[in-house]
Amino acid sequence: MAARTYSVAPAASNYFDNTTTTAIVQYRGYYTPSSPPSLPHLPAYNDTNASVQVMASLRNLADAKHPCNVPLSTSTKLIYTASLNSYPCINNSCSGANGTRFAASNIKFNALESKSEDPDFSPSMVFDSGPYEVCFLIE
């Protein structure tokens, strides 16, 4: 699996880390493994046509035989947390902004409670998810 940032920002502006991320997906089960895949060719970070084509091609598998019924009202509220970080590299040698490397995560959860096997556990920092109507502040 491979991915690259899509951005219309100029590459020289260092608004984002213009590197490729890769992952190895390992399946469990009984199957005959194929040969290892090669790294795919990825479009340029600012290739708007490629981005539009990919987004336009996303479809579900719903048809009359396999309907895709989604709820029209919900009672569960979900909170999504996106984390963006940059980590230093020796001699600022990485190709991210200011010679750093980029790290991100998208963590989603629907339980707003904390459980611990240790009743004396006290986290060093408490995450305040705030109200559901979250405003984003860019510093």
Q: Quick one: pLDDT band at residue 115, thresholds 50, 70, 90?
A: low
Residue 137's pLDDT is 40
Residue 7's pLDDT is 75
For the cut 70, the answer to whether the pLDDT of residue 5 exceeds it is yes
Query: Can you tell me the distance from the alpha carbon of 102 to that of 3, in angstroms, rounded to the nearest whole number?
Result: 13
- The more confidently predicted of residues 113 and 63 is 63
For the cut 50, the answer to whether the pLDDT of residue 134 exceeds it is no
Which runs of E-coded beta strand occur in 5-139? Answer: 20-22, 79-87, 101-109
- The more confidently predicted of residues 80 and 108 is 80
For the cut 50, the answer to whether the pLDDT of residue 17 exceeds it is yes
φ/ψ (deg, to 5) at 57 = -90, -5
Helices and strands in the chain: count of H runs, count of E runs: 1, 4
- As given in the structure block, the two tokens for residue 80 are 């999504």
- pTM, whole model, 2 decimals? 0.40
Radius of gyration of the chain (CA): 21
Which of 18-22, 27-31, 103-107, 110-114 is predicted least confidently?
A: 110-114
Residue 49's pLDDT is 92
Tens of pLDDT, residue by residue over 35-92, are 777 778 888 888 889 988 888 887 777 788 888 777 788 887 766 666 677 778 888 8
For the cut 50, the answer to whether the pLDDT of residue 126 exceeds it is yes
Query: Can you tell me the distance from the alpha carbon of 12 to that of 16, in angstroms, rounded to the nearest whole number?
Result: 10
- Torsion of the alpha carbons at 71, 56, 44 and 18, rounded to the nearest 10: -10
